[in-house]
Structure 1
Amino acid sequence: MTGRTAPAALPLSLRGWLGPLAVLAALVVLVLGVLYADDSEPGTADARIEAAVYGVGPPWRHIALATDFLGEPVGAATLVLAVVTGCLLLRRPRAAVLTVAGAGLTVVTATLLKSLVGRTIHGENLSYPSGHTAFATALAVVVALLATGLLGLGRTAGTLLVLAAALVAGAAMGWAQVALGAHYPTDVLGGWCTALAVTPATAWLVDRTADRLGGRTAEAGRLERR
């Protein structure tokens, strides 16, 4: 299967809606980053949410720890490998590339933003945005994009599926981070929006690169036949 004929990583039906959504998400990340730059205290909304969520006991703490593990290197690598394997079995090579590139670039972006923003929690631990939340959301978006293509969903249904998947994954990981005291709630929101900004853009780049490489391969084949 060539890059030209392989199904798109970013379904055409979603490009018109996910583009503006990615821009909006990037703006939220920027605004929150400016508001909490070099801060080390929870905001008003953070304090209220933390009061209700932080310090959960068994069995919820065990669930939070298990969820948190999925964002750690070993857990994250296992999830990525599982999704990549599924993509290849379904003959969706672009989706496989997006799984690695989308999750990787999202985490890298979150890591860079942490250093730029400089918000800390529990001393010197950089906290904004939440990398765990960004990773979980990015992977959920990739799976939702894959499902949209496989099921042939239209713009509305596909967009709702992407948003629902992102919300569920982001909320689950975000809850774990706040419950364990690893992040402020606004860090979680920043991580969620980071994934919504980076992952669709990465999917578009994967498709564009594959189309160009596929075009060059086809042209080279025509030249050889001459």
Structure 2
Amino acid sequence: MTGRPAPAVLPPSLRAGLGLIAALAALVVVVLGVLHAGHSEPGRVDRWIIQPTADSVRPPWRYVALATDFLGEPVGAATLVVATVTGCLLRRRPCEAVLVVAGPGLTVGTTTLLKPLVGRTIHGDGNLSYPSGHTAFLTALALVVALLASGRFRLGRTAATSLVLAAALVAGAAMGWAQVALGAHYPTDVIGGWCTALAVIPATAWLVDRMADRLVDRRADAGRRERR
């Protein structure tokens, strides 16, 4: 590391482990995408979990599913991101704020690009379903917050890894349940969205750290030139 005044958004102790997880997650996204490319019906795994094309919950759990789904809608997602960015800026952590915006943004952007490439639909009418953008977004934001908390509290490798994976699992499971329960996605769409976040967030965090290091180095070089 260089003389960056703030901790890295991707703690050094997590780089190797999350790098491996990201690679495996990317592989899962590709494999599931290939297996379900062009399909318009649930696959064998989907049918084993639940019949996903009809609403499977009734009130009051349906209201819980709708509330969870709202967190992945533009207004709900923007509210979560703005609130988290505000917290980062109040703590004077601009790199963290950049990750909060860039991480979920790139994750959702990736799902948006993948959907027409895979071409999987649900309910007909060209409703592209793989991978789930809602699941990817909430998982990505949870991953970012967990990464920042790990650095903030200087957690060890085991504790930090447990926190990051637990946050991703809880967020992904909550949104994934809502998407399947409301008939918006197949279960494998949810898995694809979850893995997309696991693949994109570590890479984005690493890039943010690299950019911050280069900025510090440039400022240091400029300062040395001025003193000459």
TM-score range with shorter-chain normalisation? over 0.9
**Distance in 2 between residues matched to 1:30 and 1:21, nearest whole Å:** 14
Residue 3 of structure 1, CA deviation: 8.0
The aligned residue for residue 156 of structure 2 is 154
What SS is found at the alignment partner of 2:68?
helix
**Distance in 1 between residues matched to 2:200 and 2:3, nearest whole Å:** 22
Residue 218 of structure 1, CA deviation: 1.1
What SS is found at the alignment partner of 2:50?
helix
The aligned residue for residue 185 of structure 1 is 187
Residue 201 of structure 1, CA deviation: 0.2
Q: Is the deviation greater in 125-134 or in 36-45? A: 36-45
The aligned residue for residue 128 of structure 1 is 130
The aligned residue for residue 15 of structure 2 is 15
- From the superposition, tell whether residues 175 and 44 of structure 1 become closer, same or farther in structure 2 (CA, over 3 Å): same
**Distance in 1 between residues matched to 2:149 and 2:91, nearest whole Å:** 11
The aligned residue for residue 77 of structure 2 is 76
Q: Structure 2 stretches of 5 or more lacking a match?
A: none
**Distance in 2 between residues matched to 1:168 and 1:217, nearest whole Å:** 41
Residue 207 of structure 1, CA deviation: 0.3
What is the total number of aligned residue pairs between the two structures?
Answer: 225
**Distance in 2 between residues matched to 1:187 and 1:89, nearest whole Å:** 36
What SS is found at the alignment partner of 2:213?
helix
**Distance in 2 between residues matched to 1:122 and 1:46, nearest whole Å:** 15
Q: Is the deviation greater in 88-97 or in 124-133? A: 88-97
Counterpart amino acid of 1:163?
Answer: L
CA contact (8 A) 1:4 1:210 kept: yes
Superimposed CA distance per residue, residues 18-64 of structure 1 (whole angstroms, 9 cap, x where no aligned partner):
00000000000000000000011101221132249942000111111
**Distance in 2 between residues matched to 1:140 and 1:180, nearest whole Å:** 22
Residue 148 of structure 1, CA deviation: 0.2
Matches within 5 A, 1:97-176: 97-123=98-124, 124-176=126-178
CA contact (8 A) 1:6 1:93 kept: no
**Distance in 1 between residues matched to 2:117 and 2:143, nearest whole Å:** 25
What SS is found at the alignment partner of 2:185?
coil
Q: Structure 1 stretches of 5 or more lacking a match?
A: none
**Distance in 1 between residues matched to 2:67 and 2:93, nearest whole Å:** 30
What SS is found at the alignment partner of 2:69?
helix
CA contact (8 A) 1:136 1:173 kept: yes
Matches within 5 A, 1:175-214: 175-214=177-216
CA contact (8 A) 1:25 1:196 kept: yes
Residue 91 of structure 1, CA deviation: 2.9
CA contact (8 A) 1:70 1:76 kept: yes
Counterpart amino acid of 1:126?
Answer: L
**Distance in 2 between residues matched to 1:51 and 1:195, nearest whole Å:** 25
Superimposed CA distance per residue, residues 51-105 of structure 1 (whole angstroms, 9 cap, x where no aligned partner):
4994200011111111111100010000001111112223322111100000100
The aligned residue for residue 25 of structure 1 is 25
**Distance in 2 between residues matched to 1:206 and 1:182, nearest whole Å:** 33
* Deviating 4+ runs (over 4 angstroms): none
